[in-house]
Amino acid sequence: MAFDYEKYLRMERMPHMWCPGCGIGIVVKAMLRAIEKMGWSQDDVAVVSGIGCTSRTPGYLDFNTLHTTHGRALAFATGLKLARPDKHVIVISGDGDAAAIGGNHFLHACRRNIDITLIVVNNYIYGMTGGQASPTTPFGMRASTAPYGAVDPAMDICQVAIAAGATYVARGTVAQGLLLERYILNGLKHKGFSVIEAMSDCPVQYGRRNRMSSAVEMIQWIRDHGVPVTRAKELPPEELEGKFVTGELHVAERPEYTEEYRRLIEKAQKAAEGAHG
């Protein structure tokens, strides 16, 4: 039986605002299939976003949905999760939103290892605002604010997440939707802060400026530049130049923030009782 996406979509909000060929839809579908597999009630799920193309996602989804300010989704989500640690909080963000203006919140959400799942749709560009360079625009590639090619080196979102302390980090692509679904599912299952980076296409703003004006060309480019982590281990560094590594890059166990805070409350209350008694 075909998957019932409409169960999770606010159909009255259609048509959505994304361009033909955009990869965001593939990521959203993978996410919905993963949520279905978790068996969660829609009432128990919040989807939070910042600003940008990807951040329009929550409005189309039938959950508790929160479209916040640019880069700040993780800050709002942290408050939401701490207020209701028993519920499920998912943040969906773009590369500019998560890695540039939201960079600090990203680092500290990783550090706290709070039980939130962050999905970053990385399409190398600011799409909604007109194709400006983002922190992940590859060196030398063009953007409306990098007309001679980007001179800023690109950021590796997953490596930053690992270094900052996230305990589940995976990278998938919109060329492989089923793998992406598996990573998101494992991220949702994981107790702690999980980051799933989805390499995605923006044929209109990014591809057009970089000789890949169709979605097919762009998705082929993504498929051809991804190297599975098992294979990457066997390759010399020069062969990985200009490529990105896909797969489950990091899985670790570390105390989760809301659990730790629950213990802190017990400790504080015991100490206060002791002081009074």
Partner 1 sequence: MAKEVRLWEGNHLVAEAAILAGCRFFAGYPITPSSEIAEYMAVRLPQVGGTFIQMEDEIASMGAIIGASLAGVKSMTATSGPGFSLKQENLGYACMAEIPVVVVDVMRGGPSTGLPTHPSQMDVMQARWGTHGDHWIIALAPAFIHEIFWATVRAFNLSEKLRIPVILLLDEILAHMHEGFRLPDSSEIEIVDRAKPTVPPDRYFPYDESQGDVPPLAAFFSGYRFNITGLNHDKSGFPTTNPEIIQRDMERQRRKIERHLDEILWWDEHELEGAELAVIAYGSIGRSAHAAVDRARALGIRAGLFRPITLWPFPEKRVAALAEQVRTILVPEMNMGQLVLEVERVAAGRCDVVPLGKVGGIPIDPPEILEAIKARV
DSSP letter (8 states) at residue 201: -
Of the pair 84, 225, the CB lying nearest partner 1 is at 84
d(CA 266, CA 29): 40
Which tokens hold the place of 122? Answer: 């990385």
Of the pair 108, 225, the CB lying nearest partner 1 is at 108
Q: Which residues bind partner 1 (CB under 8 A)?
A: 13, 42-44, 46, 48, 58-59, 62-69, 72, 74-84, 87, 104-105, 107-108, 261, 264-265, 267-269, 272
Of the pair 77, 161, the CB lying nearest partner 1 is at 77
Three-point CA angle 50, 10, 39, nearest 5°: 85
Beta carbon of residue 114, minimum distance to partner 1 (angstroms, whole number): 10
Q: Look at the chain and count its residues.
A: 277
Beta carbon of residue 265, minimum distance to partner 1 (angstroms, whole number): 4
Beta carbon of residue 87, minimum distance to partner 1 (angstroms, whole number): 5
DSSP letter (8 states) at residue 206: I
Beta carbon of residue 238, minimum distance to partner 1 (angstroms, whole number): 37
| Other Cβ atoms within 10 Å of 175 Cβ, number | 22
d(CA 226, CA 247): 10
Beta carbon of residue 132, minimum distance to partner 1 (angstroms, whole number): 20
Are the C-beta atoms of residues 124 and 155 closer than 8 Å to each other?
no
Of the pair 6, 44, the CB lying nearest partner 1 is at 44
- Residue 227's DSSP bridge partners are 245
Of the pair 17, 235, the CB lying nearest partner 1 is at 17
